[in-house]
Amino acid sequence: MKLSIRKKVPFLFIPAILAGTLLFPQGAPHKTVWDGIYSEEQASRGRAAYLDNCSPCHGADLEGLNGVRLSGPEFMERWREFDVGSLYDFISKSMPRRREGSENRPGSLSEQTYTDIITHILRSNHFPAGPKELTSSAMTSYQIEGKDGPKPLPNGALVQVVGCLNPARQATGWRLSRASEPARTSTSKASTEGELTAAVTKPLGGLEFRLTNIDILGDAFNPKDHVGQKIQAKGYLTRQPGNERIDITSLEVAAQRCDP
C-alpha cells in the first residue's frame, strides 16, 4: 500500500549525544568522505568541468551566486548524513540549468563528468584525496558527515524509517515501535524499488515514533488492517523528549509481520 501526502513540521533542536551508536549500529560498515575516496587528478578535472558548466550559477568558488552554496556550513547541513550517491543523483538529474546560448540542460553531461564535478565539490569542502578515482557505482558506500562523525538528523528532515505498526500508547492514534534510526531520503514520495528492497531486509531497532496525521489517509490506508506489520514510513521528523514523531508523507508495507 502506497500513499504520498506532503506536510511540514517546525524545526527543533536536539542533542547529538547518541549519534555514533544510533546512526551506525555496532558492526555495520561505515565508510565516509574522510576516507580519501577520490584522486587529486580527478578533482582537478572536476574543477575544470565545474567552471565550464556550474560556475555561472554557483560561482567560481562554489559561493552560490544564486543563493545555493556548494561549500561550507550550508552545504554540510544540507547534505550531511546522505551518501555521496544522493548528491550525485540530485546534481546529475537537475544540473546544469538551461542558459541562453548554451546547449547545457539537466542530465546533459556524461557520467564521468558529473562524477568528476562531485570530487571537486568534495575537495572544496576539505574532504581529503586518496590514491584512487571515485566511481559513480561506489558513491552509495560513502557517507557525507563532519570530521567529528555523524550526528542525529535535524528536526524537520525528510526521513525514512521502518518499524512495527501498533496502536498508540494513548487512547487514540498510531505508532511505529521497534523502529530503526531515521535515515535521510531525498523524496517524500513512495519508495523506489531499491528503497523498498532495502526496507524489507533492514533490521528493526529500539526506537518509537508517533505517527501524526494518520487519520488524513482515510480509506486509502486503514491502520487496523496493518497492525503488527513491518512498515516503511517516510515523513518529516520531530524529536522531542517523550514525543518523538513523524509527520508522514508515505506509508508502505515492507513485510506482512515484524520479525520475532
User: Which residues, including other chains, have CB under 8 Å from residue 221's CB and lie 6 or more apart?
Assistant: 1, 3, 214, 251
> Between these two residues, 77 and 27, which has the higher pLDDT value?
77
Task: Identify the band that residue 13 occupies on the pLDDT scale cut at 50, 70 and 90.
Answer: very low
pLDDT band at residue 100 using 50, 70 and 90 as cut-offs: low
Q: Looking at 36-40, 192-196, 206-210, 250-254, which range is the least confident one?
A: 192-196
User: What span, in angstroms and rounded, lies between the C-alpha atoms of 118 and 136?
Assistant: 10
Q: Which residue has the higher pLDDT, 153 or 37?
A: 37
pLDDT at position 220, please? Answer: 75
Q: What is the reported pLDDT for 28?
A: 52
pLDDT at 103: 74
Examine the pLDDT at 1 and tell me if it is beyond 90. Answer: no
pLDDT at 102: 67
Is-same-fold flag (31-143; 152-255)?
no
Check residues 78 and 20 and name the one with the higher pLDDT: 78
For residue 34, pLDDT over 60 is answered with yes
CA distance 23 to 180: 9
Q: Indicate the CATH number of 31-143 among 1.20.1070.10, 3.40.50.11310, 1.10.760.10, 2.60.40.420.
A: 1.10.760.10
Domain borders along the chain are 31-143, 152-255
Instruction: Give yes or no for a contact between 115 and 43, defined as CB atoms under 8 angstroms apart.
Output: no
Name the phi and psi angles at 219, rounded to 5.
-75, -10
Mean pLDDT rounded to a whole number for the chain:
85
Instruction: Work out the average pLDDT over 157-186.
Output: 91
What SS3 class is residue 181?
A: coil
**pLDDT, tens digit (0-9, with 9 covering 90-100), for 213-251:** 877 667 777 888 999 999 999 999 998 888 899 998 888
Q: What is the greatest pairwise CA distance in the chain?
A: 63
Contacts of 1 (CB under 8 A, 6+ apart): 220, 221, 226, 251, 252, 253
Domain 152-255 has CATH 2.60.98: no
pLDDT for 231 equals 95
Query: What does the pLDDT average to over 245-258?
Result: 91
> How far is residue 196's CA from residue 238's CA, in Å, rounded to a whole number?
23
Confidence label for 192 from pLDDT (cuts 50, 70 and 90): confident
Segment 124-148 mean pLDDT = 96
For the entire predicted model, the pTM comes to 0.72
Mean local confidence (pLDDT), 115-141: 97
